[in-house]
Amino acid sequence: MRAEAESLVENIKQSMGLLRRHLDVETATRRLAELNAKAEDPGLWNDAEAAQKLMRERTLLEDRLGSLAKIQRDLDDAVTLVELGEMEGDADAEQEGVNILKGLKAEGERRQLEALLSGEADGNDTYVEVHSGAGGTESCDWARMLLRMYMRWGERRGFEVDLAEETAGDEAGIKSATLIIKGHNAHGWMKTESGVHRLVRISPFDSNARRHTSFASVWVYPVVDDRIVVDVNEGDCRIDVYRASGAGGQHVNKTESAVRITHLPTGIVVACQSERSQHKNRATAWGMLRARIYERELEKREAAATADAASKTEIGWGHQIRSYVLQPYQMVKDLRTGHVSGTPSDVLDGDLDPFMEASLAHKLSGRTVVVEDVE
């Protein structure tokens, strides 16, 4: 087998070894068998909370064990393909096997990072808030582009993506919006996106075709599920109802179905207008408020446990994390990790995994990287 293939196989085997040790395959297999047996119990759903917890654990173990088994099968098939190609002088078959190995190497590295998403809320669904910065129409349009980018990322991942709230800009774009992205480790991946995002481009709103710089802020916080208890005193909150803005038909425009909740002690404000029912919007808004208060507590814990000022500002609200340059050249650059893409169109279409993976790897390594911004 040629040197490139041998190197890839070695890397893949190392990744699998780390994954097996992290998972403890023998223990995980026994545990999955126990969960499968319990799942067949007719009385399982008599306790809905316990049943949901069991099914979550079962799904997670099935995914991790299944992915390991699939990587091993695909590795064996790719090695066989490369060896047959060499034996028969079939360069195309040999290259196809090498390409499969490259894909498996990337998958193994991604799974390694995912296995290390062990934060208290990393496995949860997530809220994503996008807010336009100063700059009027330009920033509102940039916020709309970011909103679409995260919706496309979620769809690429096979996650469920719901728009909880959207406030339209005065002329174009959005002033703010909130997404709910539902899927395994949605928060663990998306939390790397919190911060300020900068766009440089020739403005489509400028008749003189001048270059403009726009800013928008992204705030990511986890959906609080039934495992996490967050007490919120309703007496500490102000609840407002109002007519929803934006598209939605006559009902949206004529009824006060949108709900805004202000938590007076902290100043946290959440809003939901995605449903026609005020009752449903109220329930969603309460969930968002509990999540924001929980995220605030997590931030306090992290700040208290972190002495290094650089790490405390790494994903802090109000700190620029990434620049997207469309003119006079094309580049997306992450200022925390130095990761660069020369195809902004792909990034804005949801190709964010390389940036997220680089950010997680950087955070896990504990390295401090100072990267100059692009002009």
Report pLDDT for 77: 94
Q: Are residues 255 and 297 in the same domain?
A: yes
pLDDT for 81: 93
Query: Residues 99-129: pLDDT tens digits?
Result: 999 999 988 888 887 776 766 778 889 999 9
- Clarify whether residues 284 and 326 are in a common domain: no
Whether residues 171 and 29 share a domain: the answer is no
Domain containing residue 107:
3-115
Instruction: Cite the DSSP H helix spans in the chain.
Output: 3-23, 25-39, 48-88, 91-115, 137-157, 186-190, 249-254, 278-305, 309-312, 344-348, 353-365
Does the residue 158 lie in any domain?
Answer: yes
65's tokens = 């064990």
| pLDDT per residue as tens digits for the range 12-39 | 998 898 888 878 889 999 999 999 999 9
Are the C-beta atoms of 82 and 94 separated by less than 8 Å? yes
Q: What six digits make up the tokens of 230? A: 């967050």
User: Tokens 């992450």 correspond to what residue?
Assistant: 334
Share of the chain above pLDDT 70, in %: 86
What is the domain-level CATH number for residue 263? Answer: 3.30.160.20
**374: in domain:** no
Q: What's the pLDDT score for residue 160?
A: 93
- Among residues 94, 115, 136, the one where a domain terminates is 115
pLDDT tens for 335-350 read 989 999 999 999 999 9
Residues 286 and 343 in one domain: no
For residue 186, the domain's CATH number is 3.30.70.1660
Average pLDDT of 94-101?
93
Q: Which residue has the higher pLDDT, 212 or 322?
A: 322
CA distance 129 to 295: 13
pLDDT at 303: 63
Residues 325 and 201 in one domain: yes
Determine the residue type at 291: A
**pLDDT number for residue 180:** 94
Q: Model confidence over 207-235: pLDDT tens digits?
A: 777 888 899 999 998 887 655 667 788 88
SS3 content of the chain, % helix, strand, coil (to 5): 50, 20, 30
Q: 265 pLDDT exceeds 70?
A: yes
* Domain count along the chain: 3
120 is a domain residue: no
Q: In the structure encoding, which two tokens stand for residue 33, read together? A: 């068998």
Mean pLDDT for the chain overall: 84
Whole-number pLDDT of residue 118:
64
Task: Provide the CATH number for the domain around residue 43.
Answer: 1.20.58.410
Is-contact 139 132, C-beta < 8 A? yes
CA distances from 372 to 134, 322, 337, 339 (A): 23, 11, 11, 12
How far apart CA 125 and CA 294 sit, in angstroms, is 14
What pLDDT was estimated at residue 373? 58
Cis ω before 328 (30° cut-off from 0): yes
Per-residue confidence at 304, pLDDT binned at 50, 70, 90? low
How high is the pLDDT of residue 313? 37
163-173 confidence digits (pLDDT tens): 998 999 888 89
* Same domain flag for 22 and 84: yes
Given a contact cutoff of 8 angstroms between Cβ atoms, the answer to whether 257 and 244 are in contact is: yes
Contact 340, 333 (CB under 8 A): yes
At residue 306, the pLDDT reads 46
Residue 277, pLDDT above cutoff 80? yes
Distance CA 141, CA 88 (A): 56
Q: Which residue has the higher pLDDT, 209 or 143?
A: 143
Nearest to 71 by CA among 31, 14, 118, 122: 14
